[in-house]
Structure 1
Amino acid sequence: MSKKIAAVLTDLFEDVEYTSPAQAFKEAGHEVITIEKEAGKQVTGKHEKTKVTINKSIDDVSADDFDALFIPGGFSPDQLRADERFVKFVSAFIEAGKPIFAICHGPQLFIQTGKLKGRTVTGFTSIRPDLANAGATVKDEEVVVDDQIVTSRTPDDLPAFNREALKLL
């Protein structure tokens, strides 16, 4: 069955951490809807190879509209977590028990939610202490699956990340 996946991103996302999972999701028949502050805006990856046109504004969506959430890494998650609307959006997915896929710096958005206590996750090496300080058990593994949350560390982990995300879908 086709699922509707919310992808939250803004400028300076890690190009391949968006393109690889998005392509895997689409090839499996799922729909990826990009979300940022402004619909119709074009955002650019940090390597300036990937440009993505935003489908929806964060003001026009609800977690109820989607089956899963996807958070690519790069500098995008750190920018988005400063905006309470994105924090509430992510929190709603956690509370609803819906699948969430976050790679590299993506789990930074979890920190702001205050909902990491008792969770097991991974992320880029520099954010692991922050994840632990937020109450999570942090592992240094290519992919960590904790109930509905799938996390990975770097672009090298994309094959495992995509595999586990697709399994949850």
Structure 2
Amino acid sequence: MAAKKILMIVGDFVEDYEVMVPFQMLLMVGHKIDAVSPGKKAGQQIATAIHDFEGHQTYTEKRGHNFTLNASYEGVKADDYDAIIIPGGRAPEQLGTDESVLALVRAFVEQGKPVAAVCHGPQLLAAANVIKGRRISAYPACRAEMILAGAEYASIAMDDAITDGQFVTAPAWPAHPAWIAQFLKVLGTRIEA
């Protein structure tokens, strides 16, 4: 298996599990992953939030860990990567206000590269206007945004994921086994037991 170079775009209050687990897992299988955030350099940190499902009408939010970025945002180009991952949490709504981030996401899509987005991550896909006509999952509270962006919202179980062409999406972190497995397949990664 040839190692892939993957970009992970994050920001303050990204969901803790949605940045930590995929980051560590993709390193574990041999891929290179650069975690970047606008205005920040390698070695700087972002704050994370823990979203949990505790029986309320929506998730609860608690302060998570600090996550150390391993690459700088300045100069990042889609041409230098094989795929992009967009974790959820609060970060995507803020990232969607940054024109450079939107242009970066559009470049990945236009180049036909794999795009994974989980939970609130698809908000960034909607903001970049790249999901029209696609079947996309997201956290249920993001349903209207997906529809307004022209996507077909996939209402699936919290531990499920969906692949539509280059897009792999899931509603929340309980879907890590499903979306990461689908993303690895789209990447062409084979894991032998």
Structure 1 and Structure 2 fold alike (TM over 0.5): yes
User: Where on the TM-score scale, by shorter chain, does this alignment land: which range?
Assistant: over 0.9
Please report the TM-score for the alignment, with normalisation by the length of structure 2.
0.84
Unaligned runs of 5+ in 1: none
Equivalent-residue separation in structure 2 for 1:114 and 1:49 (angstroms) = 30
1:55 is aligned, of 70, 87, 90, to: 70
1:35-77: CA deviations, max 9, x gaps?
A: 1121132101113443222233333110001001011100011
Percentage identity across paired residues of the two chains: 36
Higher helix share: 1
Equivalent position SS for 2:3: coil
Q: Which residue of 2 aligns with 1:35?
A: 36
Paired letter, 2:5: K
Q: Is the 8 A contact 1:5 1:30 kept in 2?
A: yes
Q: Is 2:52 the partner of 1:45? A: no
Paired letter, 2:173: P
Number of residue pairs matched by the alignment: 169
Equivalent position SS for 1:33: strand
Q: Is 2:115 the partner of 1:112? A: no
Q: Is the 8 A contact 1:58 1:86 kept in 2?
A: no
Greater C-alpha radius of gyration: 2
Equivalent position SS for 1:129: helix
Paired letter, 1:46: A
Structure-2 change in CA distance of 1:27 and 1:55 (3 Å): closer
Q: Is 2:90 the partner of 1:88? A: no
> Displacement of 1:18 after TM fit?
1.2
Q: Which residue of 2 aligns with 1:160?
A: 178
